[in-house]
Amino acid sequence: MKGLKNVIMSTAVIGAVSCGNGAVQDPASLPEAGERISRVEPLSWWTGMKTPLQIMVQGEGISGYDVRIDGGKGVEVGAVHKADSPNYLFVDVKISGNAVPGTYWLVFSKDGESFRYPYEIASRAEGSAARKSFSTADMIYLIMPDRFANGDPSNDSTDDTAEKADRGEFFGRHGGDIQGIIDHLDYISDLGATAVWCTPLLLDNEPEGSYHGYACSDYYHIDPRFGSNALYREFVDKAHEKGLKVIMDIVTNHCGTAHWWMKDLPFADWIHQFDEYTGTNVCFSTNMDPNASKYDLNLQESGWFVPSMPDMNLDNPFVLNYFKQWAVWWIEYAGLDGFRVDTYPYNEKVPMSEWCASVLEEYPDFNIVGECWTSSIPQLAYWQGGNANRDGFDSRLPSIMDFPLQEAIWKGVPTDSHGWGEGMIRIYDCLSHDFVYHDLSKMMIFPGNHDTDRIGDVLRHNADRQKIVLAMMATMRGIPQIFYGDEMMFVSKDRSQGHGGLRVDFPGGWKGDETDLFSESGRISANVGTDGKPVPAGQMAALHDYARTLFQWRKGKKVIHDGRTMHFLSRDNTYAYFRYDDTDAVFVFINNSRGKKHVPWSHYAEIASGLHDGRNVVTGEAAEVSDSTAVGPRQVLVVEFKR
């Protein structure tokens, strides 16, 4: 354990509080804590949970108090742990199988004085542990809430948060919020999405750049500029009503410098600290490289992501416990369907493996996808749970983001090159490495996200090539994810502004917008983006309808969800593949060249022979494919067959 301080443990005081004359004081008569307790986390808990409950209590001088729990049978204190700071206590709570849901009281006593703090232990929802999660049957729609839709202008700026809204600032808050997402769930569902991933919604109280949410200031509260905990839970409920799952974006690697505990850390090693600012070396290979030095590995794990994001020390068991139960709390409280974990390899890998195991112990079918940003296929495979790693390490992380495929799309689709290894052969080559991965069904595929250039920019605003990318997302192995607006080829407002420029507002999401792309009439009347060549409105409408057709079709296409893949090599910037099982097949032919190409159907005889009842997925018309079938330049043919 890296530099963990000696932890002082005291035996818990369990029982009643004695008055001076030896009588037992009624807990109901005790004064409530008031300002003597600043925070208690987790905010509440449930009966029937497997995850051990360790309550963190913050209050001035609270470590000098004894603690017990009153309010009913089956709930008691197991142990109390003191921290380095006298202003914290960590209280282990035992909840037996016969515990009764209700309000309990944490009773703090010192020198004959006692006070109490209410703590809710609720009844767990029926079937909670057996909840299902996102899978290959889903299409994930990624939203940056601040830039998607402003449903409640009254919370754009609040008195208790530092940064105020200014829609004209690339790196400022624009006002999008949870209510805005709720208002447009029908649009998301109609597109064919079955899951929503929002970038972090928890409080980020940094003085600038707080809109993205990745510098958390409070792990248990939604940022008031987005809404409230209750509204977030309402969002999840309403999404479920629309057939949409909800994936929460979480960050265990770092918090923000504005986090409340930065003024008074529980332990000196609660975060990684250096004599001077030390950033991570971003060298993920140190985790699996047999030749790596401990020095380099330590910098990779312990260095800060950026100066505004202190690096958490998951080797401290109290930090790890904090994040284990925090994850479980949000799943149970909000009814979540999955997690996306930011900057996954920056965390200490062994504690994060324990973290994943803890979440899956509570929810065996829960899916967690980690952002493991590497173009190295073997290094990416290392991070997926169950992979046969030579060093014996098992991350227990169910799913990984397929950055190598994203890179292949970026390099292969925008070019007309027929050179060796260029064009669509890059996609073929990338998928030819699928033998390296442990579980292809647990891979998120995507053409871009909030941290990359927009795919519309990468494709230089070419709508035909955007259709190629959308078709691949709808038909390839894995779990597809698209970034909001990619269905209409949104482009950056100003690429020179980096992330701030690509995270454009969704027109119509703000009161007073002249154009509303969420509406049927509005999406054919305006352009989005001002960087170079904005996308013509007609193209946007056509792209939207193309994406909608494919993703709505994909919802019920089991062969796409669970089928195998067979693909065929070419040297002419075309690419062909089949998704198939025992009864169905889907054929995809991509002509990414400048000229018309004929489908070499006879080359595919080993799988194409016997296919029948063909139907063009995009047009809905009956389709037969042969060597004479022609596909126009930069066009895609998608045909479903029976076998």
Give per-residue pLDDT as tens, 215-237.
999 999 999 999 999 999 999 99
| Active-site residue flag, 434 | no
Rounded to an integer, the average pLDDT of 270-295 is 96
- The reported pLDDT for the residue numbered 418 is 83
- The string of pLDDT tens digits covering residues 610-639 is 999 999 999 999 999 999 999 999 999 999
Share the mean pLDDT of the chain: 93
Residue where a domain terminates, one of 96, 124, 152: 124
What pLDDT band is residue 406 in, cutting at 50, 70 and 90?
very high
The answer on pLDDT for 539 being more than 90 is no
Q: At what angle do helices 229-241 and 317-334 cross, to 10 degrees?
A: 50
- The reported pLDDT for the residue numbered 515 is 84
Global confidence as pTM: 0.94
d(CA 621, CA 508): 34
Query: Which one-letter DSSP state was computed for residue 523?
Result: G
Long-range contacts of 606-615 (CB under 8 A, 24+ apart): 606/566, 607/566, 607/578, 607/580, 608/578, 610/643, 611/585, 611/587, 611/641, 611/642, 611/643, 612/641, 612/642, 613/641, 613/642, 614/639, 614/640, 614/641, 615/639, 615/640, 615/641
- The string of pLDDT tens digits covering residues 573-617 is 999 999 999 999 999 999 999 999 999 999 999 999 999 999 999
Higher pLDDT, 529 or 93: 93
- The reported pLDDT for the residue numbered 528 is 64
Rounded to an integer, the average pLDDT of 29-48 is 94
Least confident of 16-25, 179-188, 197-206: 16-25
- The reported pLDDT for the residue numbered 9 is 32
Query: Which one-letter DSSP state was computed for residue 159?
Result: T
- The reported pLDDT for the residue numbered 420 is 86
User: Residue 136's closest CA among 594, 588, 556, 487?
Assistant: 556
Beta bridge partners, 414, equal none
Rounded to an integer, the average pLDDT of 40-68 is 97
- The reported pLDDT for the residue numbered 532 is 54
613: CATH: 2.60.40.1180
Residue where a domain terminates, one of 124, 157, 179: 124
In a domain, 320, yes or no: no
- The reported pLDDT for the residue numbered 519 is 80
In a domain, 1, yes or no: no
For the chain, give the percent of residues with pLDDT over 90. 87
Residue where a domain terminates, one of 105, 124, 143: 124
Domain span at 94: 8-124
Higher pLDDT, 534 or 323: 323
In a domain, 71, yes or no: yes
- The string of pLDDT tens digits covering residues 510-528 is 988 888 888 864 454 455 6
Rounded to an integer, the average pLDDT of 63-92 is 96
d(CA 218, CA 229): 12
The answer on pLDDT for 8 being more than 50 is no
- The string of pLDDT tens digits covering residues 457-512 is 999 999 999 999 999 999 999 999 999 999 999 999 888 888 888 999 999 999 88
d(CA 237, CA 257): 32
84: CATH: 2.60.40.10
In a domain, 310, yes or no: no
Rounded to an integer, the average pLDDT of 190-199 is 98
What pLDDT band is residue 531 in, cutting at 50, 70 and 90?
low
Residue 539 CA to its chain's centroid (Å): 30
Catalytic residue among 76, 163, 342, 486: 342
Q: Using an 8 Å Cβ cutoff, are 121 and 95 in contact?
A: yes
Burial of 615 (0-12, 13-18, 19+ CB in 10 A): middle
Rounded to an integer, the average pLDDT of 109-121 is 96
What pLDDT band is residue 27 in, cutting at 50, 70 and 90?
low
| Active-site residue flag, 332 | no
d(CA 477, CA 82): 50
- The reported pLDDT for the residue numbered 288 is 96
Number of domains forming the structure of the chain? 2
Residue indicated by tokens 């004695």: 18
d(CA 327, CA 119): 19
In a domain, 595, yes or no: yes
Q: Which residues contact 218 (CB under 8 A, 6 or more apart)?
A: 202, 203, 205, 259, 260
In a domain, 494, yes or no: no
What pLDDT band is residue 166 in, cutting at 50, 70 and 90?
very high
Catalytic residue among 371, 402, 486, 487: 371
Q: Which residues contact 310 (CB under 8 A, 6 or more apart)?
A: 254, 255, 256, 257, 259, 262, 271, 272, 304
In a domain, 31, yes or no: yes
In a domain, 594, yes or no: yes
